[in-house]
Structure 1
Amino acid sequence: MPQTTEELVQLLDLEEIEIGLFRGAQPQTELQRTYGGQVLAQSLMAAYGTVTEDRMCHSLHAYFLRGGMPDKPIIYDVENVRDGGAFSSRRVVARQGGRPIFNMNANFHINEGGLDHSDPMPRGVPAPEDCPSLVQMMKERFGASSSFFSEWDALDVRFAGDSGHSKQIERGAHQAHMRVWVRTTSALPDDQRLHQAVLAYLSDITILSVSTVPHEVVFHSPSMSIASLDHAMWFHRPVRADEWVLYDQVSPSASNALGFSTGRLVQGNALMASCSQEGMIRVVK
């Protein structure tokens, strides 16, 4: 996986094969299948390659159909569904070996004024500099299982508490609740499309694991079979993915080997984006 912010930017710079058809490179990785956030982010950049510059993505809805092979490039086929006066719609199908592995519908919108309100930053969240790195926390809790998170060295991820065994967050209405601070390790170019894609990239790192917080399991371990199944995201305001974003995540339900989680991405004192995901969290012997 990208070890630096520069490598992450390169990963999101797709090759245009022809109109509406793009090729995404694969990074070196020890993962057995392509990281879902990478496919999500590359698909968004492919869709942006077919949309005029006055339109920004405001929502996307995606399904992970098959595990991607990390040693083969991914082809992104973008269908222009509609271009209206204020909105555009695109459908993206990601393929490997001629078979679809992922599809996404994304909508884009021109900049308009209007009503404006936002939930504020949650109270009582420790500052990023007062939080351990996610890798450090994983080492302390689970030892060798933390090697999974070293794949994301292009990101600075700080653990800001959960409602699990350490109970940094009181359970209250949410039995499964976790917060992390996250940003890229160095500055990004001033391209809001790229910042959105990086936000999509990082949105898949921890959101499924929140659904296991109340349970006596180790998320990344031989006793768990896990996979992202679908992912939705809404972009509310311009964001800087190279500055601290609080990822406030809750899992309202886990059942039938499926975990459902939602996340709020807050920066400053405003909500930048929201997301939701359902994934497989199968306990195996």
Structure 2
Amino acid sequence: MDHDDAAANGNQYLSFAQLMRLDKVGDGAFKSTAKAFSPGGTTAAYGGHVYAQAVWAASQTVRRGFVVSNVTGFFILPGDTTRPFVYHVRTTRDGGRYCTRSVDVFQEPQGGICFTCTCMFKVDEQSDYDCQDPYDLPRRYRSALGDRRPEDWPEAPSVDSPWYWEMQAANNGTNHAFPGLSLRKVDMEPFNQDRGPLERRQLQFYSTTGDMAAVGEEHNLHACAHLYACDRNSLFMIPNHLGAGDGYTQMASLSYTVVLHVTSQELATQVNGKKRWFCQEARISRAGGNRGLHESRIWGEDGRHIATTMQDGLVRIGSPSKWAAKMGSARKAKM
């Protein structure tokens, strides 16, 4: 597999802090400094980059102690890894415990908006109640997880589709480098093989790379790591779990909502120099009309449910006869 020209995209191992770094270019305006990852090594930017960095830009305008709790973003135009992103942040409201920002994102030379989002920040609070579903990943997914640790699983493929798996196999497992995170995909076939599309699940473990302590008490940077992780290969689950493999003809994120449920300390990706592993438990809950809905829960090492995500995606899939022709007899969906 040919590796990418660094001048074209950001497919290189880089610390998360370096990946998210911004230059201030005006009042409420910020510019990216690192190039975005490109799945498959083209110049199409990974959507999770602009999603997370837009919130990081917005966090530069809030008072200390406010940490992102809710984000809804809309993907308008494809991102291009050869051009920097410019983030324009608007103050919607500043309150005592909550504040809201809107962010419009452009690429130079400035054209139309490529991404827009509204994000809410809040101060940490404790309450007399704290309810969540029981943490049962080790038990429920025992057939897939076994006794393996998060770091024992292989890197998630650059593109989670049969054509890319074949390319990896032909090149001794070579993968496009993913910046910012160590992200590992669990082979879920033992769990998924006898289940229908909506009952199948995908687990991914992730942790941040580089020294997060070097940036100081930047709780929002840790929060943005979860936003960056949750979009990784998400829509590719839809054709995979439907049995269509790479029989899709078009795929793009339309909108993404993430709700963060816990305090800034529980969102921390590293504590006292030790990295934490988190697990994204994902499923598809609806597919039709050339769209699909990807949902997930993100769990901490201690079994805390830290975030919930929902992504609406454009997914056009050809007829079943075309799937079969495209998949070929040697392609087996890895679900």
Partner of 1:4: 13
Say whether 1:183 aligns with 2:216: no
Say whether 1:228 aligns with 2:253: yes
Partner of 1:131: 153
Say whether 1:152 aligns with 2:178: yes
Aligned counterpart for 1:239 among listed residues 237, 250, 267: 267
Say whether 1:13 aligns with 2:21: yes
Give matches, 1:63-82, under 5 Å.
Answer: 63-82=74-93
> SS of the counterpart of 1:213?
helix
Any conservation in 2 of the 1:37–1:202 contact (CA below 8 Å)?
yes
- CA–CA separation in structure 2 for the residues paired with 1:131 and 1:71: 31
| Offset from partner CA, 1:95-150 (integer Å, 9 cap, x none) | 12231001000001111111212332523342324534333997898311689962
Aligned counterpart for 1:116 among listed residues 122, 130, 133: 130
Give the deviation of 1:45 after TM superposition.
Answer: 0.6
User: TM-score scaled by structure 2?
Assistant: 0.75
Partner of 1:51: 62
CA distance 1:132–1:173, change in 2 (3 Å): same
**Sequence identity (%):** 22
Output the amino acid matched with 2:281.
Answer: D
Say whether 1:100 aligns with 2:108: no
- CA–CA separation in structure 1 for the residues paired with 2:157 and 2:197: 28
- CA–CA separation in structure 1 for the residues paired with 2:309 and 2:68: 14
User: TM-score scaled by structure 1?
Assistant: 0.87
Give the deviation of 1:24 after TM superposition.
Answer: 1.4
Any conservation in 2 of the 1:42–1:197 contact (CA below 8 Å)?
yes
Any conservation in 1 of the 2:198–2:286 contact (CA below 8 Å)?
no
Any conservation in 2 of the 1:259–1:281 contact (CA below 8 Å)?
yes
- Range that drifts further, 27-36 or 224-233: 27-36
Output the amino acid matched with 1:107.
Answer: M
CA distance 1:79–1:194, change in 2 (3 Å): same
Gaps of 5+ in 1: none
Two-structure CA RMSD over aligned residues (Å): 2.8
Give the deviation of 1:81 after TM superposition.
Answer: 0.3
| Offset from partner CA, 1:46-94 (integer Å, 9 cap, x none) | 1001001111111000000000122111111111000111110000000
| Offset from partner CA, 1:238-275 (integer Å, 9 cap, x none) | 32334211110010111111110111110121011111
Any conservation in 2 of the 1:134–1:159 contact (CA below 8 Å)?
yes
Give the deviation of 1:9 after TM superposition.
Answer: 1.7
Flag the structure with higher strand content: 1
Gaps of 5+ in 2: 1-9, 270-274, 323-335
Output the amino acid matched with 1:56.
Answer: V
Partner of 2:245: 218
Aligned length: 279
Any conservation in 1 of the 2:53–2:224 contact (CA below 8 Å)?
yes
Give the deviation of 1:37 after TM superposition.
Answer: 0.4
- Range that drifts further, 141-150 or 170-179: 141-150
Partner of 1:280: 314
Larger Rg: 2
